[in-house]
Amino acid sequence: MLQGADYAVMAVYVLLVTVIGWRVSRRAPTADDLFLAGRSLGWGVVGLSLFASNISSTTLIGLPGAAWENGISVANYEWMAALVLVFSAFFIVPRLLRAGVTTVPEWLEQRFDGRLRRYLSAVSIVLSIVLDTAGSLYAGAVVLMTFMPGLTLGWTCAAMALFAGVYTVAGGLRAVVYTDVLQTVVLLVGSAVLCGIVLSRFDFSWTQIRDSVGADHLSLVQPLDDPAMPWLGLLIGVPVLGFYYWTMNQYVAQRILGARNLEQATKGALLAAALKLLPLVLMVLPGALAASLFVDLERGDQVFPMLVRELAPVGLAGLILSGLMAAIMSSVDSALNSASTLITVDFVRPRRPHMSARAQAGLGRWITLGLMVFAALWAPMIDRFPGLFNYLQQGFAYVTPPLVAVFLLGRFWPQLGSVAAFRAVVLGHVISAALFAAAQWGWHAVHFTIVAGALCLVTAALAVGLQLLRGVHTLALADDLTPPQAPALKRMAWGLVGAVVIMVLAFW
């Protein structure tokens, strides 16, 4: 159980976050401050904030839990994210920044029409609250209840939502990203120390590790019938899920859109890509090794709390739990702020174009509080699902592929028009709903990563076919597809790609 030193460390962390939030929020933020931090973020803040928002409590709980059950193949989501970030930095971010948009759906209106903007925005809001925010609250509550048995799931979720919601409302995105910098440091330090403790149980010997958990448990590439990560799903599905998360998800893209210029945005994306190479060792590997340390757990979501409770010494447990709190705050504040941005900018502003910036900021604050309440009420429902990580990934797998297909076609195929694009998205989601229902009723057992890739391809084919039926002619100005960034940034990008290749080959 937690000791006095642990509580002291956690108290210091809460105090630091509170001070940062107070200093940032001393002046009332304008709408641009609230939603995009005044478009003033440097590359370090952008990159660290991207990483902190992604390495959330759902990740700290979900990655070790999935690795405990099925091995390190769950880390494929992490290194694939690095490749997606590199691609996005050179081929997507320049277009978004040149368009001067506040939200990603706003770009879809510029490229197509208002229907696709509202469609993507509505879907993003639901995913942000039901998956990102609620999932983070649930994961944090699971851990805190392990150390404080008197807590209840509902009230714990509500208390965390209240804390994150209040300082998000007070300081907007600027408060969010600057607390993210602190949270990233805490996350990395706590995870690294815990990883070292776990490895010490195996004398830091790879031979002993392999003998204890088995070679299959330590392989990234798995057979086609693997229940966790079949190789075909890795090839066609994981890139689709990664592209939506790192490019189209306002929750993440908001940091890049808040960069002061293209160079800072690109550097920030590359920094986040480099940091995404760390979770394999710091978070996934300890979870896989826990399979030989804890053999009688009921579900994988208990692995991280057990590692902390059983292995972390006094004081260190408080630091690691501070990292968990950092992750919770980072995810919840990011998701709340992005959802508020989408509602205000994509739904309210078009209908009330003369609304003042101060009024928009005030409305955004009230929306944030309302979303906070909804997420706190939904979070305890996740306990009814078999596992947190599958809950999150399956949610994204059935909803996002049609949107990814149309976004990519809109970016790289100027001939695609708004009618064909909108109809393809709707048809893609009809097919997706049918496949999801069939999976729930046991009519098919195709892995959700394969379903994601297939849905993206089918939607793309529908969009192309519908446009061909309407006649093909250039409907939008084609951009030069040559990335505009400096040669030094391109060399950094190729270095990251090389590091990913080496990592995959090492753990093949």
What's the pLDDT tens digit per position in 351-363?
A: 777 777 667 667 7
Q: What is the pLDDT of residue 478?
A: 46
Q: What's the average model confidence in pLDDT over 216-238?
A: 91
Residue 25 has pLDDT above 60, yes or no: no
Name the phi and psi angles at 287, rounded to 5.
-65, -40
Handedness of CA 62, 64, 68, 72 (dihedral sign): positive
224 is a domain residue: no
Q: What is the pLDDT of residue 252?
A: 79
Amino acid making up residue 257: L
Q: What's the average model confidence in pLDDT over 230-242?
A: 94
Task: Report the C-alpha gap between 108 and 395 in whole angstroms.
Answer: 23
What's the pLDDT tens digit per position in 432-481?
A: 999 988 887 888 888 899 999 999 999 999 999 999 998 876 554 445 55
473 phi-psi bin (left φ>0, alpha ψ -120 to 50, beta other): beta
Task: Report the C-alpha gap between 199 and 49 in whole angstroms.
Answer: 28
What's the pLDDT tens digit per position in 173-194?
A: 555 666 667 777 777 887 888 8
What's the pLDDT tens digit per position in 119-136?
A: 888 888 888 788 777 887
Q: What is the pLDDT of residue 73?
A: 92
Count of structural domains within the chain: 1
Q: What is the pLDDT of residue 459?
A: 97
Residues near 226 by Cβ (< 8 Å), separated by ≥ 6? 70, 73
- Range of the structural domain that residue 51 is part of: 4-103+113-214+254-388
Residue with tokens 């947190």: 388
Q: What's the average model confidence in pLDDT over 144-159?
A: 79
Looking at every residue in the chain, the average pLDDT score rounds to 81
Residue with tokens 């270095």: 495
Q: Are 74 and 295 in contact (CB under 8 A)?
A: no
234 is a domain residue: no
Q: At 387, is the pLDDT very low, low, confident or very high (cuts 50, 70, 90)?
A: low
420 is a domain residue: no
Residue 211 has pLDDT above 60, yes or no: yes
362 is a domain residue: yes
Task: Report the C-alpha gap between 89 and 252 in whole angstroms.
Answer: 13
CATH code: domain of residue 348? 1.20.1730.10
User: What pTM does this model have?
Assistant: 0.83
Query: Which of 423, 406, 400 lies closest to 124 in space, CA to CA?
Result: 400
Residue 394 has pLDDT above 90, yes or no: no
Measure the CA angle with vertex 123, ends 93 and 115; round to 5°.
80
316 phi-psi bin (left φ>0, alpha ψ -120 to 50, beta other): alpha
Q: What's the average model confidence in pLDDT over 366-381?
A: 80
Determine what percent of the chain is predicted with pLDDT higher than 90.
Answer: 24
- DSSP letters, 309-368, are HHHPPTTHHHHHHHHHHHHHHHHHHHHHHHHHHHIIIIIIHHH-TT--HHHHHHHHHHHH
Q: How many helices (H) and strands (E) does the chain have?
A: 26, 0
Q: What is the pLDDT of residue 316?
A: 75
Name the more confident of 18 and 199: 199
403 is a domain residue: no
346 is a domain residue: yes
226 is a domain residue: no
Task: Report the C-alpha gap between 309 and 149 in whole angstroms.
Answer: 13
What's the pLDDT tens digit per position in 311-327?
A: 877 777 787 777 677 66
Q: What's the average model confidence in pLDDT over 486-502?
A: 91
What's the pLDDT tens digit per position in 94-118?
A: 988 888 887 888 898 889 988 888 8
Q: What is the pLDDT of residue 34?
A: 47
Q: What's the chain's Rg over C-alpha atoms?
A: 22
66 is a domain residue: yes
DSSP state of 128: I
Task: Report the C-alpha gap between 423 and 470 in whole angstroms.
Answer: 12
